Amino acid sequence: MGDSEAKVHFHVVRFIHEAGMKLHLKSIPLSTASLIYHMFFQKNSLREFDPYLIATTALYLSGKTEEAHVKLRDVINVCYRTLHKTKPPLEMGELFWALRDSVSNCELFILRMLQFRVMLDHPHKYLLHYLKFIRDWFEPYKWDNLPITRTAWAILRDSYHGSVSLHYPAEHVAIAVLYLTFESLGVEPPHTNVCRSPWWKVFAEDVTLERIKSIIIEITKTYELEDSVS
Amino acid sequence: MMSSDPEQARCYKEVSVIGNGAYGTVYKAIDLKNEGQFVAMKNIRIQNSEEGIPMSAIREISSLRQLEKYEHPNIVRLLDVQFGNTSSEEVGLTLVFEYIDQDLATFLERSSSLGSEKIRDLMQQLLTGVDFLHSNRIVHRDLKPQNILITRGGRLKLADFGLARVYGFQMILTSVVVTLWYRAPEVILQARYATPVDSWSVGCIFGELFIRRPMFCGQSDIDQLMKIFEVVGLPAKSEWPDTVSLPWTSFKALSPQPLDRIITDLDPQAKDLLEKFLVFNPHQRICAYDALNHPYFKDDLDSLRTSSSLSVSESDSSITDSRSDTPVSK
């Protein structure tokens, strides 16, 4: 993927998150929408498809796959408003009907393109489980003074600007996010020095430090991208 | 544009009709891209509207897709999803499955008596598949010998699951009668139901493996319930679901019959397990996971499966007769 394409995708995923929040979609449907978007553009070119149509449809579709159904009408109005902040809100009329037809046809097209592979395993549930687990290793006062949970959750959300969750198993991404959290806060999980095996081995037998590092490199690329687009 | 995607470019050539079920026609076809391998194709139609295709259809088909990544040995492979004719009202889809030429019904017709070890092997595979579906939050809802497939190598695979709501739409359009014989009482009574309905069906099939005919052949909903109560007895009034329209008083009092009177040669462990499946109250019915840990399965089956003794022989039945709590060496 070229650098300019990556920048477009970065903006579009930000759009997905912004519109999705306005639609009250929770983390999982938002993450699914981002991945559907990324999967689509792994197979297709930006020259042929409008990324915002794909993004809008991905939002609508993820509401369905994650059982958080939003009305197509609301998706169109919110996405239109998010995309055209200076224009007046969309009126019920020809443009609205045309957009609605586009999205519902596009939904079918994406399902066809992705062969219905739109139900995905996300790192969220693993990360939540690991965080709960690792919290018990810390002294309570120490844990309360560290923004570990918040930082980890933010890193995970940000990672969806890229497609790291498509390339690695969800457990491994969750571990890497936690690893990066500790690194960026400059903390070590308790008893690190006395343990015979590293903390992450508890959560996934098959993960290696090498794997963790390559996931982290992919995640940090997103932040470099953010610096270059803003 | 589509042809750039190898998965979309697959072609299938229909050869014959496998079955005409309540859910539409199933074809046997040749996968032209894959060395002429046989596949089973099932055409389904799903509703299309201004809001796109229904959430239930998307969720069901995509969850089948997600299940595929586990490649569970007791689940029939879903190889491909093809799009067909699409209109503003309907979307045609073709689900392409691996082709297995024999279901449990034909398997039972073809073989004489099964022998207790073969029955145990089939039951363990059946329950392993059902437990896999349940742990992935899928209720089969229609387990019966016709959609349990048996490969040449003796592997049992479940088919036809996970699309109940997709089919639900088509069911209204068809007049083909769906068999009641494996239906749990709560389904017939139209009460709330969940995974225990599959345990009931497994129980019916378990019994059928021994007696080689269905346990309960009802002709109607009421007749089916009567046939069930003749064996398991009329449940206590307190067990009767309170949301159903059919009153408890419409059935005559019947006491349960000992299962080994209906099924001769039923060893005590098999009898105990079967009784735990055929429980009226779904909350007290044994689940697939617990059933797999039942003493009935405690002997090591793997060693038996690899040996060639799976076909029935005289020596097999003598082992059965002498089988007790201590493992029998061969």
Q: What is the pLDDT of residues A79-109, one digit of tens each?
A: 999 999 999 999 889 999 999 999 999 999 9
Buried b / exposed e over A82-98, threshold 16 CB at 10 Å, is beeeeeeebeeeeeeee
Contact B24, B95 (CB under 8 A): no
Task: Kindly provide the ipTM of the predicted complex, given to two decimals.
Answer: 0.85
**A chain contacts of residue B62, beta-carbon cutoff 8 Å:** 65, 116-119
User: Is 80 exceeded by the pLDDT of residue B7?
Assistant: no
Domains parsed from chain B with CATH numbers: 10-98 (3.30.200.20), 104-144+179-301 (1.10.510.10)
The tens digit of pLDDT for each residue in B51-69 reads: 899 998 899 899 899 999 8
Would you give the end-to-end CA distance of chain A in angstroms? 20
Amino acid in position A71: K
Instruction: Give the model's confidence band at B33: pLDDT under 50 very low, under 70 low, under 90 confident, else very high.
Output: confident
The tens digit of pLDDT for each residue in A39-52 reads: 999 999 999 999 99
**B chain contacts of residue A104, beta-carbon cutoff 8 Å:** 50-52
CA separation, residue B6 to residues A119, A205, B80, B96, B137 (Å): 21, 35, 12, 15, 31
Domains of chain A, residue spans:
3-113, 124-229
The enclosing H or E element of B46 equals: strand B37-47
Neighbouring CB atoms inside 10 A of B22's CB total 14
Closest residue in chain A to residue B50, using alpha carbons only: A104
DSSP structure class, residue B3: G
Buried b / exposed e over A138-176, threshold 16 CB at 10 Å, is beeeebeeeebeebbbebbbbbbbbbbbeebbbbbbbbb
Instruction: Give the model's confidence band at B284: pLDDT under 50 very low, under 70 low, under 90 confident, else very high.
Output: very high
Q: Is A3-113 a domain of CATH 1.10.472.10?
A: yes
User: Is 80 exceeded by the pLDDT of residue B176?
Assistant: no
DSSP structure class, residue A84: -
Q: Please give the positions of B annotated as active site.
A: 142
CATH of domain A124-229: 1.10.472.10
Cβ contact (<8 Å) for A117 and B62?
A: yes
Closest residue in chain A to residue B67, using alpha carbons only: A119
Residue A118 sits at the chain B interface (C-beta within 8 Å): yes
Residue A132 sits at the chain B interface (C-beta within 8 Å): no
**B chain contacts of residue A69, beta-carbon cutoff 8 Å:** 55
To the nearest whole Å, the CA of B4 is away from the closest chain A CA by 9
Q: Helix, strand, coil: what percent of chain A each, to 5?
A: 70, 0, 30
Higher pLDDT, A226 or A135: A135
Contact A59, A23 (CB under 8 A): yes
Is the overall model pTM greater than 0.90, yes or no? no
Same topology, domains A3-113 and A124-229? Answer is yes
The tens digit of pLDDT for each residue in B86-134 reads: 888 889 899 999 999 899 999 999 988 888 899 999 999 999 999 999 9
Amino acid in position B324: S
The tens digit of pLDDT for each residue in A154-195 reads: 999 999 999 999 999 999 999 999 999 999 999 988 888 888
**A chain contacts of residue B1, beta-carbon cutoff 8 Å:** 48
The share of chain B scoring above pLDDT 70, in percent, equals 81
